[in-house]
Structure formats: C-alpha cells, structure tokens
Structure 1
Amino acid sequence: MALSPSLNLRQSQSLVMTPQLLQSIRLLQLTHVELEQFIAGEIERNPLLAREDGEGSETPAREDAAAPNTAEAMAERLDSSLENVFPDDPGTRETIGPDLSAQWRSASGNGLASGGDWNLEAVAAAPVTLREHVREQIAFSFEAPAELLLALELAEGLDEAGYLTADMGEIATRTGADLELLERVLLTCQTFDPAGLFARSLAECLALQLKARNRLDPAMEVLVANLDLLAKRDFHALKQLCGVDEEDLIEMLGEIRALDPKPGTAFTTEPADPVVPDVTVRPAADGGWAVELNQDALPRVLVDQTYFATVSARAGKEDKAFLTDCLQSANWLARSLDQRAKTILKVASEIVRQQDAFLLHGVRHLRPLKLRTVAEAIGMHESTVSRVAANKYMMTPRGLFELRYFFTAALAAADGGEAHSAEAVRERIRRLIEAEDAGNVLSDDAIMDILHEDGIDVARRTVAKYREGMNIPSSVQRRREKKALAGIGA
C-alpha cells in the first residue's frame, strides 16, 4: 500500500475550559467571605457593575454620565470660589453662620450625642499588640542603655504565644553582650505581666506563672518538670516523685489546669470571621422542611445598562471595545451568581430529603450518604456537589453544620439491616465514654461488644481510630485520671 499525503475534514466535540468556565467553577467553591472579596474587586474594576443592597434596589444614578465636564460646569457645580470659602462681607458671615451652626447641631444630634453614625463612644481604640505591651514594661524596668537594648532584642524574639524563640547565644554574639548580662535581662523580662512571658518551654512558662502566685514549691517543681507523665495520666508515678498523696496531687493538678499555656495569645488582634450560614432549614406548615437561601450570604450585583448605552454612544473605538468587554463580564458574573445560588439550593434540598431522620431525632439517626448519591438525584456531576459542599454551612433546628458533615461513610449492620453512619457511631462511642465512672472504664473491646449488641458491625481497631480522632485517651489513661479525680488510689 502506497503512502501519500491527503487532506481530511473531521468534526468532533470537546469540552474547552474557557476562562469564564474556570471562573464559574471557582465561584462555586468560594466561601461567603471570599465571594464578597471577589465581588468587591470586580465592582472596583468594572464600571458597569453595582451591588444590589436589598429587595427593590435600583441601579444608582450616575450624574457624571450626562453632565458636561468643562471647567465652567465643574466650577458651577462645586461652587468653590474664594468668596464662598472665605467671605469678607460681615452680612455674608451672618448669613452663613446660622446655617453652619444648624448643620453642626444636626450632625451632633444624629450621631455625636444620640448614638447615630458618628457616635464617639462607638469608636474603638486600636488594640494593643504583644510587643507594644512588652515595650511599655521594658521602658520602666531598665535604666542602663545596654540592658534596654538587650531587652528590646529579646522582645523581638517573642512568638504569638509569648514564648522566646530566639537563641540566647546568637543574640549575645550579634550584640556583643556578655551572656551573663543577657541572662539577667531575661530574668527581669520574665517578671513582666502577664506571667509566663519570655519562657523558652512549656514547663518554664508554667513555672513562671506558679512563681508569680507564690506556689512554686518543691513538689510543684517536680510536677512541672515531669509534664510527660502528666500527659500520660501516670498519676501513680507522679505521686511517688512529688512525695504527695492523692488529695494533694488533685489540688496540684487543679492549679496546673488554671494556668495559661499561651499567655501571649491574649494580645492576638486578628478578628475571627463569623460563620454565615448559606442555607436555612426550618419546619414547614405541611410537616416537611422549608429550605431557603440565606439572603445575607447571597450577594447580588446589577448591570448598569443605562450607563453603558449613554457612555458608549459618544465613546471612541477603543473605549467602546472596553465597555463591551465590561458588559460581557458583568452579565457573566450576574448569571454565574444566579447559577451558584440555584446549585447550592438543589444540593441542600437533596441533603435535607436524605437526612430527614437526623433533623427529627438527632445525630444517632444520621444516615450514611455519598456525594454520588446526591449527584445522581439532582442530575449533576459528583465534582460539582463536592465543590458546593466545601465551606458551605446549613442552619438547622439541630444547629449549624457544614454541608460536608452530612456526607459520611457507611458501617454495616450486624443483623444485615440498614447500614449505620460513621458519624452516628462516633457519637455513640463518645456518649458511652462520657457515661463511664472510675470503677467501670470501658476498653475498646468492651465498646465494640456494646456496639455489636446495638446492631453495629464494627471492628476494635475502628473503635480505636474513632476514639483517637475525637482526642479521647485510652482506657488505661482514662482510668488513672478518673481514679485520681475521685480520690481513689491507683
């Protein structure tokens, strides 16, 4: 068979990931805060976009669209001649004075005096940072310039928790100071408020706080020096090392629990963003559930068609092309936000339908649920459901939950019945452990047997994995702690 070049024409279909499609996928998985930031950036870049603040809000009028921008027109609108700003005529001053006084009374009546937008009492002072708090104490604690500079160097080595992370030898080498002098400066800094600052370890941090309370006796020093035994709940060994009985040890443990392991975090100024639910679920009149989108978490934008028509009519070729791109981008964003809201509502409604028993009776009735099950029910791809479930929250009569909370693995039933949710099994394990007493601490095998009696087919290693995932210690450690707290000898 001879080989020869030829031309062939073929037709095929393929999915092309356009920038708009990629952006739509990104919008779907953004949190409420991230979405607000994204929309704010788009409004700043796109002159045709405006935020819709509420129901029935209209596109804000743009006075500069039709007003001429000549110097005379601007001067007339601003009315900022020197005669108006600094009037020389006493009669004019008499005329202007009462108006300004009335404006001031209006401002003070609406805000400064009666709690309006300009209430001075509502203005919060800037929060004091950890380093600012420490520098104030350094200024009053050291007089010698050398000691003052060394203390400031040590302050720069504090982390957010108040621990000294800088190396003492490195500071001494860099500053040329004697290490003994640096140690004396550190001892003074370790007396600062709050107690525990400038510690180089957890044990030293706790010791500094106990010393400030005049409670660092020899027995407490031994206890602080053996925090590893305390973490293991080896109270029998601690009693022998400290030379105390059960009652004294329990009192010492109570003092340790009252200490702050991270004293510097009290000056953390980063505000925590509140969780805003994307969907709310409430009982409906017909006995079902009403699933609604939270309007506060549903930003809406408006496309200013009037402004586009007014400006593009007298714009040049390049400006008109820019405005056309802005119009397409604005229309796409509005459609994407609408599609995002509809997708979230579809996924949330199907989750509510699948988890009806959980909403009625609690976490023990949470059903095992997969992303594929919801995707097939609403006719969407599994990856779309996964993006919707990420970082989205649902407010239910049972509390606030992330959508991913409702997707759990299935554990087989011992009697061959309906499978159990892994989250429901974890809750069952947690309640069994909370009901323990010092004389009846359940091992992982005992918990497994109880779950088998309840019809849950679960292995002992699965029980141990769920227990460790909830940060619950082993039965040996729990028994030691409960005996110590109950005053029973180990």
Structure 2
Amino acid sequence: MKIALKTQFGQHLALTPQLQRSIQLLQISSAELEEEVAKAAEENPMLEYSPPDQSKDDGEPNEKMEMIQANWASSAPSRDDDEDWDTRHEQQAQVKSLLNYLEEQIQSLRIDPPAKGLVVYLAGCLDERGYLPESLEDLATEIHSELKITKASALTQLKTALTELQKLDPAGIGAHSLAECLCLQIQRQMQFDTEHSDKLQLALNLAQNHLSKIAQKDWSKLRQIFKQSEANIMEAVAHIRTLQHNPGEHFDTNVEQWISPDVFIKLNAKGKWVVHSNQAIKPRLTLNQEYSRILKENNAKKNNLALHQKMLEARWLIKNIEQREETILKVAEAIVERQQNFFHQGNIAMKPLVLREIAAAIGMHESTISRVTNNKYLACPAGIFEFKYFFSAQLSSEKGQAVSATAVQSLIKQIILDETPKKPISDNQITNLLASQGFVVARRTVAKYRELLRIPPAHLRKN
C-alpha cells in the first residue's frame, strides 16, 4: 500500500456560528426574540437592553376602516373574540384554575384527611376538559405501594374518592367519557327536579347507551327502542345538548398565551393596503457606550482579547436582529402586495400563493421564506393572522383563471350556510354548484375541504 499526499480542490458550504445565529433568530417569534435578547444582554456586558415600549402607538385606523370591517363580516375568517383590528395583543382570560377551584371545595368536605388527600390526588389527575383519562385500576397500581396498602384496598379507596370528586362543581367533573360526563349531570338534576323525572330518565338512558344513534340522527331506531314518540325523543335530545361536554373548559389552563403582531397593515390615501412595522414589540439593543469608549482609547487587542470578542458578538447580534426585521418587513410587503383583495373582501378573494413566488420577488431562498412565515403575525381588519395563512394551493377555473383553495373553502362554507336545514346539500351537489360558477373541483376535494371546515356531512346536518 502506497501512502501519498495529494492536493484536491473543492467547494463546500460551512455554517459559521454567525450564520447559525442568524437563522435561529429568523425563525423564532417576537416573544422568543425578546427572551433571547434579554439573555444575551445578561451574558454580554457590551450590550444594553431595554424591553419593548408597549406604550407606543402605531396610529389610529383611517376613515375607511369601519366600512372595510363591515364588508368583512360575511367573508372574514372566524375569530374567538371581537377585539379591534389594531389590538396589539390577544390574551387568554385569566380565571381561576380548575384544580384550585376543586381544592377549595375539597377542603370543605366532611371526610377524614387521608380521604381528602386521595380526592385532591384525583383532582390533580384530571385533564383540561375535567375528565379523568386514566383508569382507577392503573392509578391504584401506581399509588398502592406508596400508601403501603394492597392494590385492592387502594382501588376501593380511589372509588370512594372519585364518588366524592364527582359530587363537586362543575357537574360532570371526574368522568372517564362523554357519556359518563352527561350522565353525571343528568343524575344531579334528577335529585332536585322531580317534576320532569320522566324526561330526565329518558335523557339519562339516551346519554348512557345511545349517543352514537343521536349523532347519526337515527330517530326511528330510538323510537323503536324506547317505545316513545319522536317528540319525546327530540325533547330529551334537546336537553342533552344543553349539557356541558367539557366541564373544565372555562377554567385557566395555567398557560398565558400572547400573540403580538409583527406588522400592521393600513389603508393609505390611495386606498391601498401598506405594511407598518410594529415598533411596540421591538426590543431595544445597543452597544454599551462606556465599554466602547474604553476599547477605543486602549487599542491594544492583545490586552483586551476577551472584551474585543464580546464586542464582536454584540455587533453581530445587533446586525442579525436588524436583518431579521428587514426580512420580515420585505416578506410581509410581498404578501400584502399580492393579497390586496383579501384585505378588502375576505377569504373569497384570497389568491393562490406559494413560497417560491415570494422568494423570487424579494431575492431570497424558499427556506428563508419558510422560516419567516412561521410564528410571525400580521394584524388586519379581521384580526391577527400568521404569515403562512396567506399561502394556499392553486385550483383552476373553466376560464383558466387560478383560484386559491382558501377561496373555494369560503364558497363551500357559504353554500352550506345558505342551504335549507330540512334539505341539506350533498357534496356532489356542492361540486355541481361550484362547477356552475366556473370552479372545477372534484367531489372528494369538496369533502376534504368540508372536513377541514369542521362541517358534518349532509345527513348529519339535516334538521
């Protein structure tokens, strides 16, 4: 075997620490950026950090805004609240947690302390819906050795504790399933309402064993089973529908979520939507002037290698953050430029858009656009949307025009909203209606979009 040295030329891409840092900053949200900047300022004495100035105002909406908001009412995407379009933050309401609410009630129970401890333990095992996802057998296996009792004894005590838990408010708490949750609520009502005992008993039987038939609206089968008129069946079903399916949903989940828009869009004097950066969420990061002065006065790098390194890192971070803001603004402007009609008319006017189109427009790679569109938000009259919301697949019309999938979904939703409740429209009929308007969409695509909109099929919509 002959050993020899050879020179070979080649090209390869190496991600420098600075480039890696730039990529990382580009893909995080504004809230995460604030945390990163604050942490960097703690570790680097060359940086001075000031939190975002939440008191800054980005200006009032102009005269045309109320009219635009009104036009959005029929076609805008649904929102969980009705806050103004330029609201800076959307936050979950802070209410008492389910566990705290239950613990307060448990303390007033007239049972011995060990039994209270088990009730508290079960309350801590509930999920955000207020259900108990684990079986008592599994929980008994988990705790019996710690309590120094047999598994059978632990199971017996847990059953007693669960009975106590299910007596607490809100009604239906501690159930293992939807059927049990509904039954617990009806059983509590039966204790206080003897006047409607027959209706409640029918509702209890339906909830206990026949929820699937109610979902399928199989009224004839239910009439045969219970030997009751359809009026009585429907009255019991109507009562079941008034019950709470998730008893814990109105309680705080101990997660405080904020959405801060990175940009706002507003109408200019010419009636065109333009992008404005949200300065209220920008962290202020500058170089420490005192340390900078010391380094300039004492230019002997060999004596200040550590400080010079920190200074370089600080400058790189500031530069990366500036590039991040410029890129976000460029992407937002490119999106808004192509989706002007969306902001005037809503989903029905959404144009098909892909990452490649934005990348070509601003001279960047698709992967960069992909990073920017995640966890970055835009505020408009209908609310706050993630950048990637404005990207959708392209469908064709008979006239050869490109139509976005979002626009077609909006049409499907409107067709179903306008249908006669007693005679709902099938997916095949929706396909034909779309075709009559010049949109070529397969029936399976209609079904797919309907499911994405969380709309049940025609036979389940029949009233």
Kindly tell me: are residues 250 and 312 of structure 1, through their superposed partners in 2, closer, same or farther at Cα, counting changes over 3 Å? farther
Indicate the larger mover: 127-136 or 462-471.
127-136
Match of 1:93 in 2: none
User: Within 1, Cα distance between the matches of 2:375 and 2:52?
Assistant: 25
Deviations 1:203-258, CA, capped at 9 Å, x for gaps: 11111112222267321122112222233333443344444444444433333233
Indicate the larger mover: 423-432 or 32-41.
32-41
Cα deviation for residue 354 of structure 1 reads 1.2
Match of 1:393 in 2: 377
Cα deviation for residue 363 of structure 1 reads 1.9
1:375 aligns with 2:359: yes
User: Within 1, Cα distance between the matches of 2:260 and 2:117?
Assistant: 47
The correspondence of residues 22-421 of structure 1 with structure 2, limited to 5 A, is 22-52=20-50, 128-144=96-112, 147-169=115-137, 174=144, 175-176=149-150, 177=153, 182-214=158-190, 217-225=200-208, 226-310=210-294, 320-415=304-399, 417-421=400-404
User: Within 2, Cα distance between the matches of 1:351 and 1:179?
Assistant: 59
Structure 2 SS opposite 1:141: coil
Kindly tell me: are residues 155 and 335 of structure 1, through their superposed partners in 2, closer, same or farther at Cα, counting changes over 3 Å? same
1:432 aligns with 2:387: no
User: Within 1, Cα distance between the matches of 2:303 and 2:451?
Assistant: 63
Kindly tell me: are residues 476 and 184 of structure 1, through their superposed partners in 2, closer, same or farther at Cα, counting changes over 3 Å? same
Contact 1:409/1:422, CA 8 A, preserved across alignment? yes
Cα deviation for residue 151 of structure 1 reads 3.3
Deviations 1:123-165, CA, capped at 9 Å, x for gaps: xxx9754444434433432434554454344344433333234
Contact 1:153/1:171, CA 8 A, preserved across alignment? no
Kindly tell me: are residues 273 and 313 of structure 1, through their superposed partners in 2, closer, same or farther at Cα, counting changes over 3 Å? same
Amino acid paired to 1:22: Q
Structure 2 SS opposite 1:336: helix
Q: Count how many residue pairs are aligned between Structure 1 and Structure 2.
A: 406
Kindly tell me: are residues 52 and 218 of structure 1, through their superposed partners in 2, closer, same or farther at Cα, counting changes over 3 Å? closer
Structure 1 SS opposite 2:259: coil
User: Within 2, Cα distance between the matches of 1:156 and 1:396?
Assistant: 41
Indicate the larger mover: 281-290 or 319-328.
319-328
Indicate the larger mover: 220-229 or 147-156.
147-156
Match of 2:61 in 1: none
Amino acid paired to 1:423: T
What RMSD over aligned residues (CA atoms) do the two structures have, in Å? 3.0
Amino acid paired to 1:425: V
Structure 2 SS opposite 1:350: helix
Structure 2 SS opposite 1:400: strand
User: Within 2, Cα distance between the matches of 1:328 and 1:187?
Assistant: 65
Kindly tell me: are residues 53 and 255 of structure 1, through their superposed partners in 2, closer, same or farther at Cα, counting changes over 3 Å? same
Equivalent of 1:447, from 403, 424, 430?
430
Kindly tell me: are residues 299 and 250 of structure 1, through their superposed partners in 2, closer, same or farther at Cα, counting changes over 3 Å? farther
Structure 2 SS opposite 1:47: coil
Kindly tell me: are residues 16 and 240 of structure 1, through their superposed partners in 2, closer, same or farther at Cα, counting changes over 3 Å? same
Cα deviation for residue 450 of structure 1 reads 0.7
Normalising by structure 1, we get a TM-score of: 0.75
Cα deviation for residue 358 of structure 1 reads 1.9
Cα deviation for residue 52 of structure 1 reads 4.5
Say which structure, 1 or 2, has more relative contact order (CA 8 Å, 6+ apart).
Answer: 2
Match of 1:84 in 2: none
Amino acid paired to 2:291: Y
Cα deviation for residue 456 of structure 1 reads 0.6
Contact 1:312/1:320, CA 8 A, preserved across alignment? no
Identity of aligned residues (%): 38
User: Within 2, Cα distance between the matches of 1:445 and 1:311?
Assistant: 75
User: Within 2, Cα distance between the matches of 1:222 and 1:150?
Assistant: 31
Cα deviation for residue 453 of structure 1 reads 0.9
User: Within 1, Cα distance between the matches of 2:224 and 2:21?
Assistant: 65
Structure 2 SS opposite 1:280: strand
User: Within 1, Cα distance between the matches of 2:125 and 2:317?
Assistant: 47
Amino acid paired to 1:20: Q
Match of 2:83 in 1: none
Kindly tell me: are residues 182 and 353 of structure 1, through their superposed partners in 2, closer, same or farther at Cα, counting changes over 3 Å? closer
Amino acid paired to 1:204: E
Q: Which has the larger radius of gyration?
A: 1
Task: Point out where structure 2 has 5 or more consecutive residues left out of the alignment.
Answer: 54-93
Task: Point out where structure 1 has 5 or more consecutive residues left out of the alignment.
Answer: 56-125, 483-490
Structure 2 SS opposite 1:302: strand
Kindly tell me: are residues 342 and 434 of structure 1, through their superposed partners in 2, closer, same or farther at Cα, counting changes over 3 Å? same
Amino acid paired to 2:417: E
Match of 1:478 in 2: 461
Cα deviation for residue 8 of structure 1 reads 3.6
Amino acid paired to 1:163: Y
Contact 1:190/1:196, CA 8 A, preserved across alignment? yes
Indicate the larger mover: 327-336 or 244-253.
244-253
Contact 2:52/2:281, CA 8 A, preserved across alignment? no
User: Within 1, Cα distance between the matches of 2:179 and 2:354?
Assistant: 46
